[in-house]
Structure 1
Amino acid sequence: MARTPLTDPAADPVPVDEIAPNLSGRPGTYLRGTATVDAILKAALRVLINEGAGAFTIRRIAAECGMKVGNVSYHFPRKELLIQVLLDDLLESYDKMLESRVRQPELNAEQRLRLLIVLCLEDISGIRTTRLFTELWALANHNAFVADRVRVFYQKVHDFIGEYVAELNPALAPDEVRTVALFISAAMEGTTPFSGFQKPWAGRMGAIVTIAANHLITLARTVTPQEARGLDPEAQ
């Protein structure tokens, strides 16, 4: 894999605050409209999914969307900006999906959490999520800014899960809810290298969805505050 500033461990890390202050709005929104930015983002996503982190360069992305390098770098001076906007857009799409399919008044907390688990695991089965997040995890290993953006993304996911855990198990304190939500998220994300798109046990994802939807719900409902704090009930 060819090394780039995003993947080379020897490269200087990019300080988070060196990039974040420039993000007062979505790049391109007030410059040339969103059409160019959307074309760049779609190209960046294709490159990251189909070719991996090693190909994730401004030059390669420019070629993918048929633009000059200068046009791409005008909107996205750093590749890290592309990562941030891609994750922001993805989180927004998930939020819209939850609004339309999960946050329905006729559903109770158990039904909503069950549906959320099913939707997350089904999403992992797709090529976009399987490949995109494995590449992002790799990038995050060597780039502080990408690592922070991935952390922020997953914190939002944990908040979605925690909302329903808190309803199902009111005995849990807020920090305990966050721990349980983290576990549920980890249990789902952990299926990616095994049963994600074209992975060795992709054919068993249907069974995994059924098991997870039933037993992660039971866990959310029955886990004790002591367990959520890491205390062994047998030692009490």
Structure 2
Amino acid sequence: MQVKFLIAGVLLVLLSPLYYGYIIKGFTSTWRWVKDWGEDPNYRTYSSFDIRIPKNYSIHGIDVSYYQGKIDWKKVKAMKEDDVKINFAFIKATEGMFNVDPYFQRNWREAPKAGIICGAYHYFRPKKSGAWQAKFFLQTVKFEAGDLPPVVDVEELNGVPASKMRIELRDFVRHIEKKTGVKPIIYTGLSFYKDYLQGHFEDYPLWIAHYYQSKLKISKATKWHFWQHSDKAKISGINHVVDFNA
């Protein structure tokens, strides 16, 4: 009789939802530990964002364009895991001399309402006039006090020599600086920077793309302000993976 009661008690525990919840929670924690074991302790997996994030940074943000579709910025703002949350967003505004991102005006309006600090960026086309691209960008974006600096995204030559790209890019940044009184940020990939930009725009703040690393592998003397370290983040309120920045 005692044996029967003992078996019945064990079965009740094993079949209990609480027991299975405890096991699943324990398995998840153990898997995270196993997944990160032996890796840089300053590069941790955050399950809600579904990416690994460098731990030595306290300010995090995203950048978006029409690829992300219609965004619920209140959900973006509310998302948090431990000390990681979305503080800022760079929003695509324009490209070349004629293209305006179809979601720019909505994002530029709604993100600040949710309490997110915003900046706007222009996708640069080296075959086109840098000065005219800058004018088009500023006609589209109305910057205000408290916004992040304007950004120019340059990541391809489009068939022109690197020297020609740099001439047009310099015309772009000089026009932006003249009209806004602010030095624009130059966004580019780490390889593109080393191949074509290093040593040419040292007075301008940089935003560097370098993915899936615990550290940005660049000289300490380089004047970088933002690091795009992943392109696969999952963010509440956005139905597409997102670039993540520190």
Q: When the two structures are superposed, what TM-score results if normalisation uses the length of structure 1?
A: 0.27
Higher share in helix:
1
Structure having the larger proportion of residues in strand: 2
Q: Structure 2 length as normaliser, TM-score?
A: 0.26
